[in-house]
Chain A
Amino acid sequence: MDLALTESQEMLKSAARTFMERECPRQVLLDLDRTETGISPEIWRQLARMGWLGLAIPAEYGGEGAGLLDTAIVYEQLGRGPLGGPHFSSAVLGALVVLECGTEDQRREVLPRVAAGEQVLALAYTEPDYGWGPESVKMAARRDGSDYILDGVKLFVHDAAAATHLLCVARTGDGPDPTAGLSVFLVDRSEPGVSVRTLPGFMAGLCEVRFEGVRVPAGAVLGEAGTAWPGLNRAFLKAIPVLCAYKVGATEAVFEMSVSYSQTRVQFGQPIGRFQRVQDHIIDIVNYLDAARWTTYEAIWKLETGRPAEASVHLAKAVASEGLYRACNSAHEVHAGIGSVRNYGLVLYTKASRSLYNYLGDPKFHKRRLADALEL
């Protein structure tokens, strides 16, 4: 047993932290938050240059082949920012979907570009009947000669506005088994009939994507048509803990912010952290933080060592999503007025905690999957 990072992992963590401190100070993040995509071309190029858009991509496809743990280490630091933008959607989730579902040629075609930051992917999976199980994909792709025609609405698609390409999941076959008949289409966002609209509200980068008579060749299907589910499921299981690590980093930052404020904010003649009611909120935050941290890293360890990991992944996602959400609530109680001032920065985390709560399945979804995994 060794719960420590190795020396090289500590160096990676430190490099990621330094990058965030130098290149993404609070003001930069606040400015990025006001953009549609959540990222600037300069920072995107830097992420690519650092190799961080290729962390989850094997070396033979132009990536770093970093492994899940190293990827998570970087994502924890990005979450501390929190740095928004399509890096997770494209370079982790999107790349893993291509890796798990695509043919060898498709991997060689797409993944090096994703790692270089030239191609940006977004997974168009969820629909108005929102959900992350296979049964929630109802959009059908119609065969027309050697092409497919895509018609339908994908809703709450993360980072579609920043994407160059969409990974659209649709049904190419029917049947009683919801896991059968699913296909992933790689669609250029500039194809006629594709329209993307960023949704307004208390969310970052969530979009409505409409496919109206979009004609794509059969070669746009990743792998063999109708067989996408096992690959999608594997990609989800690997991507989820990386997203959890991002939430761990965000929760850690919220924790530090709250401790710091408790030491400096004076009311009734003393730092507010002297009041036990204030302390209770911060203790809740550190409990959310550590619960998320250790469930997440145990899930990663299980995945990396080839152990049965499904229950652990569902556990981690439920715990990390609820944890960040509630940690932000507690932090707002600690901060009161100043916490809701946008320029203070807490709201960046709060917005992320809501935007990412449902991404790849909300806590209820994962708790039900956990019940299945426990054979209840």
Chain B
Amino acid sequence: MDFELKYTPEQEAFRKEVRAFLEANIPPGLEEPVDPANLSYEQYLMRRELGRKLGERGWLFPTFPKEYGGGGLPMELAVIIEEELDRYGLSLPPYYNTGGTLGAPCILVWGTEEQKRYFLPPILKGEVRVWQLLTEPGAGSDLASVKTLAVRDGDHYIINGQKTFVGSLHGTDWMWTIVCTDPNGRRHENLSWFMIPADLPGISMTPLDLLTAGGEGGASPGAKFTVYFDNVRVPAFNLIGGENNGWKVATTHLELEHGGAGSIRRNRIVDRLIEYCKTTCRNGQPLSKDPDIRDLLVECYIDAEIGRLFNLRNYWLRHTRRPRTYEGPQASLHRKVSGLRIAEAIVKALGPYALTNDPAWDPSGGHLEVFHRASIVATHPGGTIEIQKVIMARRIGIGRAVREEAGTVV
């Protein structure tokens, strides 16, 4: 067993190359704002520019096949890119791109050769940003009940309906979405996936006023919208994975979204909290010397360590293509429930200081207050806590003779 990513001299040489590239191409001012809602349009454009430059080298989607615009790189080199970006507080891609990170693997698994050649290169090279659109007003946890309707009309489909709790700040190029293609069809046999250019006539959107905009992992969205489709004509070519075969495609998508992708990043909130308590004095001593606060900090640290190990295991499982069952939703579940526990511990440890981002009274620079809101909102993106448990139960085979299979991922 080896819990550490090890690097050969060639890989370390690659790291130097990546580091030099990032030093040359990450301008000041690109770092993640403490509150993702404050990401400016200029910062967004800078990130897109960085994405394109990474994409030119195949570094935006490093493990994807070269022939479609990926890097064709082994896991170890992909990890090096992620680690180096992490030094800047960035991840791959360096902007919100859920339709790319979740849609591209689906297209790779389920698309025709022609579709792969058409859709993948712009995504993998960073020329387009893609949102994923799943949730509808009437379809949250029960995704299979989506009502947005696509009706065939010659070599197009006409789409009507709405998606909500989707998107991010500063717009998108494409939308990756699941719709109903057979309102009278059987459940799970009436859905289809489309890749939709966002500038088609009939698409409009309105922002949601939220506590904060939760992410599904990766870069934060900063905002969420309701998107309306009003007689939007989409080429039939943009239907991926076959008409009414959308639930099968969703297994790939949802497996990744439910934590199956894994991660080598460490959640820094507990490190920040510990630092805060070691350096902030109340009643004449550092907070970390208070026995109750010490106990709280250790519980938070344990939660963070378990989360790190679940993510590391999932990252390894994915990249070594090992069979998985419940591990993805387990990591997601842990992230959600431990987030709530950690937020509560912060309030217990700091009192009302936990809830202000006033520069005069918040030595964390706003991080703890933002985390508190995010921990509440994070309980639903990619499926609620309850849904993660439902998936785990099916995959484990609790009460069932036949286990449900995990989705195919790349």
Using CB atoms and an 8 Å cutoff, list the residues of chain A in contact with chain B.
1-5, 69, 259, 262-263, 270-276, 278-280, 282-283, 286-287, 290-291, 294-295, 297-298, 300-302, 315, 318-319, 367-368, 370-371, 374-376
Contact = CB atoms under 8 A, between A and B. Distances in A.
B393 A282 contact: yes
B330 A275 contact: no
A3 B313 contact: yes
19 contacts: A1-B4, A4-B1, A5-B1, A259-B396, A270-B399, A272-B399, A273-B398, A276-B386, A283-B333, A287-B333, A294-B310, A295-B306, A297-B1, A298-B3, A298-B309, A319-B302, A371-B294, A371-B297, A375-B278
Contacts of B302: 315, 318-319, 367, 370
Contacts of A263: 397-401
B393 A290 contact: no
B82 to A, nearest CB: 13
A1 B305 contact: no
B406 interface: no
Contacts of B274: 374, 376
B390 interface: yes
B403 to A, nearest CB: 10
Contacts of B186: none
A22 B147 CA distance: 56
B268 interface: no
B66 to A, nearest CB: 24
B330 A287 contact: yes
Contact of A376 (B2, B5, B6, B277): B277
Interface in B264-298: 274, 277-278, 288-289, 294-295, 297-298
B288 A276 contact: no
A200 B385 CA distance: 43
Given A1-B4, A295-B306, A376 B288 contact: yes
Contacts of B313: 3, 290, 294
A375 B6 CA distance: 28
A374 B389 contact: no
B330 A276 contact: no
A167 B310 CA distance: 39
B277 to A, nearest CB: 7
A243 B6 CA distance: 29
Contact of A374 (B6, B301, B312, B330): B301
Contacts of B4: 1
Interface in B307-321: 309-310, 312-313, 316, 320
A203 B50 CA distance: 62
Nearest to B386: A276
Contacts of A273: 393, 398-400
| Most chain A beta-carbon neighbours within 10 Å: one of B299, B309, B390 | B309
Given A1-B6, A2-B1, A376-B297, A287 B334 contact: yes
A3 B262 CA distance: 14
B371 interface: no
Contacts of B149: none
Given A283-B392, A374-B274, A271 B399 contact: yes
B131 interface: no
User: Nearest 7 CB-CB pairs, A to B?
Assistant: A273-B399, A294-B309, A279-B393, A273-B398, A274-B399, A271-B399, A376-B288
A69 B1 CA distance: 8
A337 to B, nearest CB: 18
Nearest to A322: B302
Interface of B: 1-6, 274, 277-278, 288-289, 294-295, 297-299, 301-302, 305-306, 309-310, 312-313, 316, 320, 322, 326-327, 330, 333-334, 386, 389-390, 392-393, 396-401
A188 to B, nearest CB: 40
A287 B309 CA distance: 12
A278 B297 CA distance: 31
Main secondary structure of the interface of A (DSSP, over half): helix
A363 to B, nearest CB: 10
A283 B392 CA distance: 7
B401 A290 contact: no
A280 B297 contact: no
Contacts of B305: 295, 315
B397 A370 contact: no
| Most chain B beta-carbon neighbours within 10 Å: one of A270, A271, A286 | A286
Contact of B2 (A279, A294, A301): A301
A291 B306 contact: yes
A294 B305 CA distance: 10
A291 B309 CA distance: 8
Nearest to A302: B3
A248 to B, nearest CB: 13
A283 B393 contact: yes
A76 to B, nearest CB: 13
Contacts of A290: 310, 313, 327, 330
A370 B1 contact: no
Contacts of B386: 276
B294 A376 contact: yes
Contacts of A1: 2-6, 312, 316
Contacts of A259: 396-398
Nearest to A282: B398
A294 B262 CA distance: 15
Contacts of A300: 1
Contacts of A302: 3
Contacts of A3: 1-3, 312-313, 316
A122 B299 CA distance: 32
A290 B3 CA distance: 15
Contacts of B397: 259, 263
A286 B389 contact: no
A249 to B, nearest CB: 16
A6 B295 CA distance: 38
A69 B326 CA distance: 25
A164 B1 CA distance: 36
Nearest to B327: A290
B406 to A, nearest CB: 15
A295 B297 contact: no
Given A371-B298, A374-B274, A280 B389 contact: yes
A295 B316 CA distance: 16
A276 B385 CA distance: 13
Contacts of B398: 259, 262-263, 273, 278-279, 282-283
A146 to B, nearest CB: 46
A360 B61 CA distance: 47
Nearest to A258: B398
A367 B309 CA distance: 18
B4 to A, nearest CB: 6
Contacts of A274: 399-400
A349 to B, nearest CB: 19
A319 B274 CA distance: 20
Nearest to A297: B1
A367 B295 contact: yes
Given A271-B399, A319-B302, A276 B393 contact: yes
Nearest to A69: B1
Nearest to B399: A273
Contacts of A282: 393, 396, 398
